[in-house]
Amino acid sequence: MARVGVFICWCGSNIAKTVDVEKVAEAAAALPGVAYSTNYKYMCSEPGQNLVKQAIAEHKLSSIVVASCSPRLHEPTFRRCISEAGLNPFMLEMANIREHCSWVHDDNDAATKKAIDLVAMAVAKVAKNEPLSSQAIPITKKALVIGGGVSGIQTALDIADAGYKVTLVERTPSIGGRMAQYDKTFPTLDCAACILTPKMVDAASNPNIEILSYSEVENVSGFVGNFDVTIRKRARSVDMSKCTGCGACYEKCPKKVSSEFDCGLGQRKAIYVPFPQAVPNVPVIDREVCRWFAEGKCKVCEKICPTGAIDYSQEDEVITEQFGAIVAATGFDTWDPQEYGNLGYGKYPDVITSLQFERLFNASGPTDGKLLRPSDNQPPKNVVFISCIGSRDDEHGYPYCSKVCCMYNAKHALLLKEKVSDAQAYVFYMDIRANGKGYEEFVRRAMEKYGAVYLRGRVSRIIQEGDKLIVRGADTLAGKPVEIEADMVVLAAAMKPQPDAKEMARKLGISTDEYNWFSEAHPKLRPVEVLTAGVYLAGVCQYPKDIPDSVAQASGAASKVIGLFSKPNLESEPTVAEVNETTCAGCLLCKEICPFSAIEPKLLTDRAGNPVKTVASVNQGLCHGCGTCVAGCRSASVQLKGFKDDQLLAEVDALAFME
């Protein structure tokens, strides 16, 4: 006969304010099987846990009910607690009297009665609980990092430095990501290339890191410690082992197209590296536009290549590899300001986005770092910067704040003055959000030392008049409309999720929010993990972040991976499905409906080795304990350990009894 101990937590005033915890403890003491019942202010604290441990010893308790918060928060805490006191960790039931009771009710009597019901159900169940044990699962100590921007690179470097293997997958021809497009970084004005490119080279030369550029993750299966990942290595049409990166091919290539890396402001060739510092420094042929692939003539690159590295016959290669952990660092896209018809983006050549402005500043950009406006290649004098383009705007874009725009607007206003000494920056803003180390001071500097004029208000319209852009807006602090004759307008377009973010999230088992940003497991306490074990987040794929925050999170994700890999083995969740081979008829409906492909047929034989019958068999590593097979089984031959029929029905009976 089970001896149940019941521990009612106040959670400070979170529970005790609405639920009469004394009364619940008293009622619990009278329940069948309960040998001990008490209440305490913070059961999860050290004194609270000691109280549980002492009671187990003193009252010879065999099963424990903790009535407190959601098991998602503290079930691991109390499992550890009772196992330290010598009980099997699965002899615990949590009654959630906070989220399911005190937080959602305001009638104290009714809430108290409900709390008693919840405790009674937990007591009834725990009396039927059985000790469960985990299995050791080996870990493949190799990580997959998806996305070769600064977040992915940092994650890969940190994991590699700890001595583990990393594969870094990047879908464009080079790692570097968005940061490679930037000129300088706020608030210190370090040159982005000077701090990023050494990291890119480190990643390439680190023996623990394998870079798969121009490659994409196609499929992910398996589970923490043992993911099977299919990766498509797109055909580069250049043999990486032969290419020396001399660049002769793209110098001679006759086909020019608009450069994605320069945001349409410059051109690249059909065979190209996106930027001179590309890693790997091996070009790819864009088969969509290459004259050989499109028209069947040319082959100039093949003729010019001194090492014979050009290979038009290359085909995509699809590989499958095992990884123990996956870090998603897939980054972001930018919002298309054409949604705002009144700003004339896409119609007026000198209305550009901030990312395009970065390219015009960048020494390796289309203007070699000279700030020249696209329409006539003249340096602009009056430049208007407009914040919140597509962010903080329910009507046209997204309601969220894109977080980094206030800072790069200040940076651009400041750098403008440095590049063109008689230039004047105007910044239209809604609020200035400069909450980082040295950030507020930086914005002040742009205003006070560099004379950027900040106007609090929105722009209603931009009109091209001759070679000027007439910018009309409101100065809400002066309470007046303003009109500025500008030479160039720069739109701070919002960060938005990658167009295929939803698809990537589905592959990796990550849930997404309403905008398709990746959701963390807990917004405060588990910010780099997701609900699928073994998958972590780094950088903007989660939400807009600047470089410092992205790099910090990247190191956080890396430390989670290193923590996982530092264990010799993983312990499997014992709450998995189990087949009663005596009653199983081998219909294998469960195999059909299992979402994790965790069920296989198994042939039973007699002692002589003659086949007797086929039954279902559960792979405990793959089983997630979802219970679909349990519901599907016609003879009730599959049961979920920890959630067996008799255990759940005991809960229901207890509720009926209380009524």
Partner 1 sequence: MKYAYYPGCSLHSTAKEYNQSAKEIAKTLGIELEEIEDWNCCGATSAHSMNKELSIALPLRNVARAESMGLDVVAPCAACFSRLKGADSAVKDDPDMQKLMAEKYGIEYNGTIKVHSLLSAIHVLGDEAIKAQVKRELTGLKVACYYGCLLLRPPSMVGFDDAENPTSLDSIMADLGAEPVEWGYKNECCGASLSLSKPEIVVKLTRDILSSARRAGAECIVTACPLCQANLDTRQSDIEKKYGEKFDIPVFYFTQLMGLAFGSWPGHLGLSKLMVNPEPVLQGLVSKGE
Q: Are strands 468-475 and 459-465 parallel, antiparallel or unpaired?
A: antiparallel
Q: Name residue 437's beta-bridge partners.
A: none
Token pair for 220: 């992910």
Nearer to partner 1, 120 or 386 (CB): 386
Nearer to partner 1, 370 or 458 (CB): 458
| Interaction site with partner 1 (CB under 8 A) | 340-342, 344, 347, 461-466, 470
| Intra-chain end-to-end CA distance of the chain, in Å | 25
Task: Tell me how far apart the alpha carbons of residues 437 and 552 are, in angstroms, rounded to a whole number.
Answer: 14
Task: Tell me how far apart the alpha carbons of residues 559 and 576 are, in angstroms, rounded to a whole number.
Answer: 29
Nearer to partner 1, 340 or 426 (CB): 340
Q: Do residues 497 and 516 make contact, with C-beta atoms less than 8 angstroms apart?
A: yes
Q: Are strands 332-334 and 495-497 parallel, antiparallel or unpaired?
A: antiparallel
The three-state secondary structure class of 50 is helix
Beta carbon of residue 461, minimum distance to partner 1 (angstroms, whole number):
8
Q: Do residues 139 and 621 make contact, with C-beta atoms less than 8 angstroms apart?
A: no
Task: Tell me how far apart the alpha carbons of residues 397 and 194 are, in angstroms, rounded to a whole number.
Answer: 34
Nearer to partner 1, 138 or 346 (CB): 346
Beta carbon of residue 467, minimum distance to partner 1 (angstroms, whole number):
12
Beta carbon of residue 552, minimum distance to partner 1 (angstroms, whole number):
40
Beta carbon of residue 471, minimum distance to partner 1 (angstroms, whole number):
11
Chain center to CA of 80? 29
Nearer to partner 1, 314 or 464 (CB): 464
What single-letter amino acid sits at 163? G
Nearer to partner 1, 465 or 606 (CB): 465
Nearer to partner 1, 148 or 390 (CB): 390
Q: Name residue 145's beta-bridge partners.
A: 168, 327
Q: Which helix (H) or strand (E) holds 578?
A: strand 577-579
Beta carbon of residue 484, minimum distance to partner 1 (angstroms, whole number):
14
What single-letter amino acid sits at 124? A
Task: Tell me how far apart the alpha carbons of residues 386 and 337 are, in angstroms, rounded to a whole number.
Answer: 11
Beta carbon of residue 198, minimum distance to partner 1 (angstroms, whole number):
45
Closest CA to 402 of 337, 320, 487, 462: 337
Nearer to partner 1, 17 or 468 (CB): 468
**Residue 609 neighbours by CB under 8 Å, 6+ apart:** none
Nearer to partner 1, 474 or 552 (CB): 474
Beta carbon of residue 344, minimum distance to partner 1 (angstroms, whole number):
7
The secondary structure of residue 234, as a DSSP letter, is -
Beta carbon of residue 457, minimum distance to partner 1 (angstroms, whole number):
18
Beta carbon of residue 463, minimum distance to partner 1 (angstroms, whole number):
3
**Residue 301 neighbours by CB under 8 Å, 6+ apart:** 249, 250, 252, 253, 271, 285, 310
Nearer to partner 1, 176 or 390 (CB): 390
